[in-house]
Copies of this chain bind each other. A is one copy, B any other.
Amino acid sequence: MGKNIPVPAIERLSKIYTVVSGLKKSDKKRISSAELESLTGIQAHSIRKDLSLLSPVKSGKEGYSTDSLEELVSATFGFNRKRRICVAGLDMLGMAILNNPDSALSGFEIAAGFDNSINRMEMITTKVPLYHFYEIEETVRRLEIEFAILAVDAEGAQKTADRLLAGGIRGILNFSPVILEPKLNLLVRNIYLLEELRLLSALLAQDPVPLTRGQTGAASPDKGNSEQYK
């Protein structure tokens, strides 16, 4: 149960977990680090090294057991516990996210949607309960919502984030084009379309085109326990 797993390793392990849990359907019992490399693009070296940071030791001639590998990562990172999340901002992007089928978000449950337009909310049909922005703090606290997907416009972003935090939210996936103020006890990952496009441009301008890392949209170094951009 290693403390201090480097962030890049966490990112790789999450990806490995995704691949392995997707694999289980296909009754594959064991998988080698080399197979994982071809499925994930992560080098076998790194896969073994990363797993050795968690692993309670075992070895063999066959690869990893998919079951125990999934269990190991899951237990280390808390993927086994279902977490409640919410979506704040229900314009097109927010609605697209709200409409994800449960199966697409396995391990997470969208427990609430928030918007500032009563009219808009009345037109929406969804099984997710909807609330006005002014109910954010109370609702997040009452439903024990841990993460928020912030899909509001630039103007409202910081204020909405503050309300979420006041309700006790632990992490925000920020789709709004704003750099949120770093706060202690709040993880932020930014997913900013324009920034991602620029990153593609910038990477392309490098010669040779670099291999890159980390990150789905990633984040950047930050003070105050939060994470910005990627």
Contacts and interface: CB of A to CB of B under 8 A. Distances in A.
A134 interface: no
A66 B161 CA distance: 29
27 contacts: A7-B212, A8-B220, A8-B221, A14-B199, A15-B179, A15-B228, A41-B182, A41-B221, A78-B205, A104-B194, A106-B194, A147-B197, A147-B200, A170-B200, A173-B197, A187-B209, A189-B200, A191-B196, A191-B217, A211-B223, A211-B225, A211-B227, A212-B220, A215-B215, A215-B229, A216-B229, A216-B230
Interface string A87-112: 00001110111011000111110000
Interface string A7-21: 110111111011100
A137 B171 CA distance: 40
Given A15-B229, A194-B18, A214 B211 contact: no
Nearest to A204: B170
Interface string A171-207: 1010001010010010101111111111111111111
A42 interface: yes
B217 A189 contact: yes
- State the 6 A-B residue pairs at the shortest beta-carbon distance, nearest first: A215-B218, A218-B218, A217-B217, A215-B230, A214-B218, A216-B217
A117 interface: no
